[in-house]
Homo-oligomer: A and B are copies of this chain.
Amino acid sequence: MKIAIAQLNPTIGDLIGNAQQILEAAKEATSQDTRLLLTPELSLCGYPPRDLLLNPSFVELMASSLQQLAQDLPPLLTVLVGTVEPNPKAHFTGGKPLFNSIALLEQGKVKQIFHKRLLPTYDVFDEHRYFEPGLESNAFTIDGVRVGVTICEDLWNDEDFWGKRNYQVNPITELVQQGIDILVNLSASPYSAGKQQLREAMLQHVAIRYQQPLLYANQVGANDDLIFDGNSVGFNRAGEKVCLLRSFETDLAVVEFKQQKRDLTSGEAAKIPPAPTSLDEEIWSALVLGVRDYTRKCSFQKAVIGLSGGIDSALVAAIATEALGAEHVLAILMPSPYSSDHSLKDALSLVENLGIESHTLPIEELMQDYDRTLEPLFAGTEFGIAEENIQSRIRGNLLMAISNKFGYLLLSTGNKSEMAVGYCTLYGDMNGGLAVIADVPKTRVYSLCQWLNSDLGLNSFRHLKSKIQNPKFPLIPANILTKPPSAELKPGQVDQASLPPYDVLDDILHRMIHKHQGAAQIVEAGHEPTVVNKVMRLVARAEFKRRQAPPGLKVTDRAFGTGWRMPIARR
């Protein structure tokens, strides 16, 4: 029996477009003699639909779309589609009004419904807000094969693998006890750096521990801040990988389930693409997909970026060029009297390397004019943060004016280290529809640029491939990587004058943000107490800025944004 995994890229709420994607995958699967087609969690509405689920009319529309899809699908193909189902008991016995479900569509009808049992409610996940957990094991029989159905988190509770339980129930154990021939998992599991290694280790562990072949179908594509990497995968009973779908792209794979052996074999179509050669390559691909999908799904054609000559905006410009094509990226240079000569020069070299359009709009006159306008209030005060921010906000205004005038998406260029300690100007350089590298620490910004300048990086930079004469040519001008980082908002300013070196800062931040360590623990790890306290104070004080930041693409296991919910007014 042939089983296909459709690794789809739905747009949130686009029921017609998403159903169309499922139909096309079904046609392709049928042309390969497939009997069963797997699609990701909530494939009909896209994941995460968030508060759209609170609108009953949206839920009703999903129900009718599902019926229509059942009728439109090839009748002899059994298809698992992710959808939501009303909880009929909610009114009488309490509980949330919906289930996060998988519908089994066959012969024009919805034949069976399975409910997700473990509901993630942590980090970016809010499933208890909408859903009631399913109480029963989910399985069905097709051509004599008993298929156990799990939905995303259902599979992430193996105490043997994790060393602890996260939920009281383990749906896998229950399914195995009841007897199944194969386990499938329909997922919408967001990307974070290195996550696929963890996923594969866990899935392999489950296959081996329970001696079950396993097919994992994941969503791909970016929805707002969340990037889904795809990487759908299959393992046989022995824990050998039988298929792996492409990362960061839609894909479809067909695998063969041998009824006699009760196991998966890798069919002809099941090629296993090479894994990314480095974390930098992986993060790069994630960010490119994130920019491409946000732009496309918000119906923008082009992006505009403020180019300072620094490393952050250089990286964002490169990502945007790869994501959208050079002809869809506009760079704006806005030098002030505090900008160094090399900044302008470096920015223009980058523009040339990327082959994008640029304009230079000096801001000195506007700065003077703000000073004049504010003279009645500011007379006699010293140049300080207020004046520094005015420069950044003039640039932010110019960029937004261009965005408004031509309908381009403004991409903001701040990195995670800056966002953490508040070294960024609200309504200035923070302006934008999408914060491309808001979850990339400064040290990673450097390594991404170094990778991009390497052979591997240049080769994967598709847009330039054809043009590159000498692949050693540095895409990101060398000077951008070597000069000391500076916001250039006053003469002689450099970041490290008021911050610890970025490797120290990033380690402290990593301990705070990702490991939830307190000051005492961080000091114990070898950091200066005064530095640790200063950083912690800066992070707390910058909360009001982060609250107003654009969505930032999530590439680590804890990003500022949806999964970071901190009070502002606090001690």
Residues in B whose Cβ lies below 8 Å from that of A570: 11-14, 46, 52, 297
Contact pick for A547, options B52, B128, B169, B550, CB 8 Å: B550
Question: Known contacts A389-B401, A401-B390: does B48 contact A567 (CB below 8 Å)?
Answer: yes
Task: Write the chain B residue with the least CB distance to A168.
Answer: B94
Against B, the Cβ 8 Å flags (1 = close, 0 = not) of A429-444 are 0010100000000000
Residue A57, interface by CB 8 Å:
yes
CA distance in complex: A250, B207 (Å): 59
Question: Known contacts A13-B570, A377-B402, A404-B386: does B518 contact A565 (CB below 8 Å)?
Answer: no
Residues in B whose Cβ lies below 8 Å from that of A499: none
Residue A186, interface by CB 8 Å:
no
Residue A223, interface by CB 8 Å:
yes
A131 → B minimal CB distance (Å): 10
Residue A520, interface by CB 8 Å:
yes
User: Size class of A's contact patch?
Assistant: 35 or more
Residues in B whose Cβ lies below 8 Å from that of A167: 94-95
A154 → B minimal CB distance (Å): 13
Q: How many copies does the complex hold?
A: 2
In the complex, the answer to whether A363 meets B373 with C-beta atoms within 8 Å is: yes
In the complex, the answer to whether A55 meets B126 with C-beta atoms within 8 Å is: no
Residues in B whose Cβ lies below 8 Å from that of A518: 55-58
Contact pick for A393, options B386, B400, B569, CB 8 Å: B400
Against B, the Cβ 8 Å flags (1 = close, 0 = not) of A16-35 are 01000000000000000000
Residues in B whose Cβ lies below 8 Å from that of A298: 544, 568-569
In the complex, the answer to whether A569 meets B293 with C-beta atoms within 8 Å is: yes
* Binding stretch for chain B, among A235-243, A364-372, A473-481: A364-372
Against B, the Cβ 8 Å flags (1 = close, 0 = not) of A212-245 are 0000000000011000000000000000000000
A151 → B minimal CB distance (Å): 17
Q: Which of A95, A400, A550, A568 has the most CB of B within 10 A?
A: A568
In the complex, the answer to whether B567 meets A223 with C-beta atoms within 8 Å is: yes
Question: Known contacts A402-B377, A567-B13: does B427 contact A517 (CB below 8 Å)?
Answer: no
In the complex, the answer to whether B359 meets A365 with C-beta atoms within 8 Å is: no
The list of the 8 closest CB pairs from A to B, nearest first, reads A57-B518, A14-B571, A94-B165, A297-B569, A386-B404, A128-B128, A386-B405, A12-B570
Q: Kindly list 4 other residue pairs between chains A and B, CB separation below 8 angstroms, not including A224-B569, A297-B569.
A: A12-B569, A126-B565, A386-B401, A427-B427
- 28 A-B pairs with CB atoms under 8 Å apart are A11-B570, A13-B567, A46-B570, A49-B567, A51-B564, A51-B566, A52-B567, A57-B519, A94-B165, A94-B167, A126-B126, A297-B569, A298-B569, A366-B369, A374-B398, A374-B405, A385-B404, A386-B402, A386-B404, A389-B400, A389-B401, A389-B404, A390-B401, A393-B396, A393-B400, A397-B427, A400-B427, A547-B551
